Amino acid sequence: MSKVFGQYALYYDLLYSDKDYEGECDFIEEIFEKYADKKPKNILDIGCGTGGHLVPLLKRGYNLVGLDFSLTMLRFAREKLNKLGWDAELYNKDIRDFDLKKKFDSCLCMFAVLNYVTTNEELLQSLKNIRSHLSYNGLLIFDFWYGPAVLDIKPSVKIKEVKGGGINVLRIVKPEIDVNRHICKSHYHLIAMKGKKIIANIKETHVLRYLFPQEIKYMLEANKFELLHLCEFPKLGLSPSEKTWNVAAVAKAI
């Protein structure tokens, strides 16, 4: 897993200010309603980032523990919690080897967290770690880049410009796909300006593995999960197709 979300994390919330976290939390609760034996109370949010899902779910009455690889992202999550006068356990840990020594009713891996685990061995180990932290019948919910769609649509250069707090941010993403390894390298170049002055010039490469239904099913089953559902993200009633870049999976610990 590459080192990502360093300086880039400073502009993360501005870049994703258009992301509908509340709607995604509605989707998560819809999954709970349909697939959970009882309403989950304690939730582990792996790859919690700056708290995009963690904070709304806390507001809805759940107990959350957050885990992230990036200290900078966790710092922003903590600042949000402090402003609200709330508290939650936040850990700077790696999905491949974390051990919190506690069980949860559900685990979330949102916004392509599992795609950042690029080898079979490490993906199996990550799922093993997650399973060890879930109670029997606990739900694992994650979204991911859907292999059939990645190969059909093909990644392309993306340009995004956002403004906020007196800052203009331009981000350019150039993809590099490796079909044989199921890998896409996303080369990020971010320029932040305040007025006419450049205040940040950041380059990061994010390496993501796109996933296919049968390999997901196999890896889940190898770690005592049952795959319950695949759907378009975040549309529980729609089956994925080769045009569905983002897919959600629901699995149960058995």
For residue 205 the two structure tokens come to 């490469």
Phi, psi of 40 (to 5 degrees): -60, 150
> What pLDDT score does 6 carry?
87
pLDDT over 60 (residue 14): yes
- The CA-to-CA distance between both ends of the chain, in Å, stands at 28
pTM: 0.97
- Distances in Å between the alpha carbon of 235 and those of 28, 167, 213? 10, 34, 17
Contact 88, 66 (CB under 8 A): yes
Q: Quote the CA–CA distance of 134 and 78 in Å, as a whole number.
A: 24
What average pLDDT does range 203-214 have in this prediction? 98
Backbone φ/ψ region at 49: left (φ over 0), alpha (ψ -120 to 50), beta: left
Pairing mode, strands 197-209 and 183-194: antiparallel
- Distances in Å between the alpha carbon of 207 and those of 100, 112, 237? 26, 11, 30
pLDDT over 70 (residue 2): no
pLDDT in tens, 120-170: 999 999 999 999 999 999 999 999 999 999 999 999 999 999 999 999 999
Percent of all residues in the chain with a pLDDT value above 70, rounded to a whole number: 99
> What pLDDT score does 42 carry?
98
Helix (H, G, I), strand (E, B) or coil at 156: coil
**Strand ranges across the sheet with 246-253:** 89-92, 63-68, 42-46, 104-109, 134-145, 246-253, 225-232
Contact 2, 206 (CB under 8 A): yes
> What pLDDT score does 20 carry?
98
> What pLDDT score does 3 carry?
67
Q: What is the DSSP letter of 86?
A: -
Q: Which domains does the chain have, with CATH numbers?
A: 7-145+211-253 (3.40.50.150), 150-208 (2.20.130.10)
